[in-house]
A and B are shown apart, each in its own frame.
Chain A
Amino acid sequence: MSQHESKPNSSERRRFLKTSALAAGGALYGGLVGTNAAAQVHANKMTDMQHGDKLPAPLGNPKSGRPAGYRDDYDGFSRFKPSRGNDPNSEFYLGKLVPGFRDVGAGPAPFVTPDLEKLPWKMVGGVKEFHLVPMAVEREVLPGYKLNVYGYNGSMPGPTIEVNQGDRIRIVVTNELPEDTSAHWHGFELPIQYDGASELTQNLIKPGKSFVYEFDIHEEGTFFYHSHIPMQEAFGSVGFMIVHPQKVFDPPVDRDLGLIFQNFFIEPSQSIADSWRMDWNWQTINGRSGPYTTPLVVKHGERVRIRIMNFSPMQHHPIHIHGHTFWITGHEGARIPHSAWVPRNTELVGIAQATDFEFIANNPGDWMFHCHMVHHMMNHMTRQVGPRVRPDQSVDAYLANLDQSPGVKLLNPDPGFKTPGYPQEMKGMEMKPDFMKRIWNRREVQGMRAMWPMSVMGLMTVLRVLPDDLYQIVMESDQPVEKGAVFAEIVRRFGNPSDYKSAPMMMHDMS
């Protein structure tokens, strides 16, 4: 079993991914943001995404085919096309126990939390020693939208603590907050004095002071740590704590991904989250909001585990994945025995709960992956009134001269208003050029449809299932990829190209 040290330098990691992609057989996942200069230059130049009714030019090499030497069919379930299997009682029904490509002997798949780092450690006297620093953090949840919250080691959510079952760990918590805090190791069966429940089990850690937590890990699965001061919890103080089992979970997965769902209340023109609010208007996944959330990019046919943890203060989240049926294989308490696994399309993940989803990525495409609460599929829901619903008005006319109002027609000329209830579709948010550049300057989104950022908002991200050659182009190369090209190629290979139309319009600020 390997010991994982985090690699905080993303450019080093990116280089490593590129140079070792073939050797690693795609088993490593580059979950960090691609920010290399070549990609940025390319994104700035991509203006030719309008193809009318034609598909963009073919991309990749369809003849590269599927990985050789792997079993495809499991009692009627195919790992390469949507299928359920022949018998619900089969252990391979819906891909339940269909293994990934990864060899069990290689140990657990690397745990990846997009947009979050891992907490480094060093071995001291046979104990894995971590240094965790609660502190005030500025988190950029969308390009240009910085949020003041609490977190750990400069990050919100905090960096992931990753250990192995059987480890003895020491976590030195040094409080850099301006107020007392404590650290609670959620779900661990540890000696009471290290439980971190403020005052019940320990004195609070004063600002500038440290407290050492040390205990043995006999559990395995998905856990997390957080401050045990309630308002600090609501202010973002949480992080993943993953324990890899001594005996690798069966069947082995190729991808092990972690997402922390949170929400906050942020007044307009404000950057400080209001932890006292009973309503929540800003949604984040691993500290980012859609469309700035980083898509989960996997290879066609891989077995994928996604661990979702809900640390919203008071909102449960029904998590829905499009195009796939997944198995619930664990909660934060424990791994679930195979016999109790449940297949689902949507799973309600309650507050302070974690749920592990596993599935075979047998359906290529860019799949919505989101909380299904309507009000969580966007940030700052606003009423559809005012200039944005008036055909001949724009806010710019108001901004042009603040001392004079451009005025309004007393009857809205939009004929839609003859229909009661109109409009229900959210209208007219402008995405600024800088914003769009930051969205597109990531390898994980290359080749997606041009309009995708308009639909991925709030507690939303994307599961990208890509054939091997397309995966390599997107994730393991710096090759320019035209907007919509990867998606069109998937349609070409797996869908019905004659029915497909590329994005109908070019957003003026997407180039």
Chain B
Amino acid sequence: MSAELGKALQAGLYPNPVLSYEAEQIGVDGPSGTSTPGEFQGGVVEQRFVTGGKLRLSREKYLRRARVSENLAMAQQFRVCNDVRIHFYKTLAASDILSIRREMVKTAEDSAVTAQESYNVGQSNRPQVRRANVVLQRARLDVLAAENAYNQAFRTLSTLVGVPLCMGMVEGALESTCPVMSFEEAYGRLLAESPQLAAARAKLAVDQATVARENVQWVPDIVVRGGAGYNFEAEETTAVAGVAFDVPLFDRNQGTVRQAQADYARQRQEIERVELELRNRLAMIYQQYLTGMQHAQEYAEVILPELKAAYRELLESYKERRVDWPDVLMAQHDYFDARLTQVDNLLHARTQEVLIYGYLLHDGLMAAPDITPPGHIDSVPKPR
């Protein structure tokens, strides 16, 4: 954005006058018959007078480009913030998964002890005890994997925040508090507020200014020059003056005007392309968002309460000596396992929600895009 403002400044600067010293016909004979230092020795001032409002248009163009940069900067800000939000929830989910995995290890330990107890009364055999031990070891490996995943999530979060964080716990809730948006609401919000789209629309204004700028390029600047010196032949002080300008006989900047017009036309289509591209990405993200929300809601309202109730009922039945303990452990495992799935559901819904509320922007560590897509003209060193 600053660069564009600099360009705007530069583009609007008036041309400097040119001072020159001129010596003409050195060695011409003077009235005394001897050679003189020249017919004329003197200083000349030359000034280019810019016509057609070229400088104003150029500055306007670059100011509009600064507006494009402003939108792109906002998009980049969303990319970074969305990444931080998403990875915060990923870290939170990793933390939840770790604690649930630790509970599931207890279930596996209980199953192993239960298998041993069953073995003691002849109701399980040695392979069954071994298999229970294997299940336990796998559960322990799952805990280690969950610890590793949590550490990686925390480090990633620390990287995205850009500040070194001490390893610790994150606090928050995975459950969404935002209202569920319909697809049309989400798309309408994108059309109205997306920084990407705003940038594309601002870029159209730039291209419009470019056309205007190129349209006056053919208007000739007037270069006026004048000065005073000494005429050694006439032996008196004399003056010089001149006016020059291009005659737009052949080059009326037709090609560049056409190119600018083409860019303008292309940018109008580019806005439509961005709209379609956003709709396309939103379609995929929205279905994931909706699926995640539906799963999370159903798990929260039906599946988890039902599994929890089944677990409680089996515990109470066991207390009344009506069911075997392995049946209770199975129900406990099913409940804990469903809680793992619910963490996935919530994370999935949250991730997509952040993207939807954050205009589908992510990958904040990638370089921000330039305002000029390939094929557009630019002006250096004097921006035009």
Contacts and interface: CB of A to CB of B under 8 A. Distances in A.
Contact of A408 (B110, B315, B324): B110
A497 B318 CA distance: 39
Contacts of A37: none
A408 B329 CA distance: 12
Contacts of B321: 380, 382, 388, 426, 428-429
Contact of A420 (B107, B120, B324, B325): B120
A409 B323 CA distance: 22
A384 B315 CA distance: 15
B312 A407 contact: no
A386 B106 contact: no
B271 interface: no
Interface in B22-69: none
A389 interface: yes
B103 A399 contact: no
Contacts of A403: 103, 339
Contact of A417 (B107, B117, B311, B328): B117
A429 B308 CA distance: 23
A404 interface: yes
A421 B121 contact: yes
Interface in A428-458: 428-430
Given A269-B313, A395-B315, A404-B103, A384 B121 contact: yes
A268 interface: yes
B351 to A, nearest CB: 24
Contact of B118 (A269, A383, A390, A429): A383
How big is chain A's contact interface, by range? 35 or more
Interface string B307-323: 01001111111111111
A428 B117 CA distance: 16
B112 A410 contact: yes
A174 to B, nearest CB: 36
- In this complex, which of B106, B114, B116 has the most chain A Cβ atoms within 10 angstroms of its Cβ? B114
Contacts of A410: 109, 112-113
Interface string A361-400: 0000000000000000001101111111110000110110
A405 B103 contact: yes
Nearest to A404: B103
B97 to A, nearest CB: 14
Interface in B116-173: 116-118, 120-123
A318 interface: no
Given A405-B107, A410-B112, A421-B122, A385 B322 contact: no
Contacts of A430: 319-320
Interface string A474-493: 00000000000000000000
Contact of A268 (B116, B322, B332): B322
Given A395-B318, A408-B106, A422 B121 contact: yes
B326 interface: yes
Nearest to B107: A405
Q: Among B113, B311, B332, which residue has the most Cβ atoms of chain A within 10 A?
A: B113
Contact of A383 (B106, B313, B315, B325): B325
Given A405-B103, A408-B106, A386 B122 contact: no
B116 A405 contact: no
A186 B324 CA distance: 39
Nearest to B325: A386
Given A269-B314, A395-B315, A429 B320 contact: yes
Interface residues of B, number: 37
Contact of B308 (A386, A387, A402): A402
B335 interface: yes
B271 to A, nearest CB: 51
B316 A386 contact: no
Contacts of A203: none
A423 interface: yes
A417 B120 contact: yes
A410 B107 CA distance: 12
A424 interface: yes
A35 interface: no
B107 A386 contact: no
A412 interface: yes
A467 to B, nearest CB: 37
A382 B323 contact: yes
A386 B123 contact: no
B106 A405 contact: yes
Contacts of B323: 268, 380, 382
B128 to A, nearest CB: 12
A386 B332 contact: no
A300 B169 CA distance: 76
B314 A412 contact: no
A207 B112 CA distance: 54
Contact of B314 (A268, A387, A422): A268
A383 B121 contact: yes
A398 B317 CA distance: 13
B121 A402 contact: no
Given A383-B118, A407-B106, A430-B319, A402 B324 contact: no
Nearest to B329: A386
A395 to B, nearest CB: 4
A45 to B, nearest CB: 27
A396 B123 CA distance: 25
Interface string A201-231: 0000000000000000000000000000000
Interface centre among A388, A390, A405, A406 (most CB of B within 10 A): A405
Contacts of B325: 383, 385-388
Given A385-B326, A399-B312, 15 more contacts: A379-B322, A383-B324, A385-B117, A385-B123, A386-B325, A386-B328, A388-B325, A389-B117, A395-B319, A398-B328, A405-B110, A417-B120, A422-B121, A424-B121, A428-B321
Interface of B: 103, 106-107, 109-110, 112-114, 116-118, 120-123, 308, 311-326, 328-329, 332, 335, 339
5 contacts: A383-B123, A383-B325, A402-B311, A412-B116, A424-B121
Interface of A: 268-269, 379-380, 382-390, 395-396, 398-399, 402-412, 417, 420-424, 426, 428-430
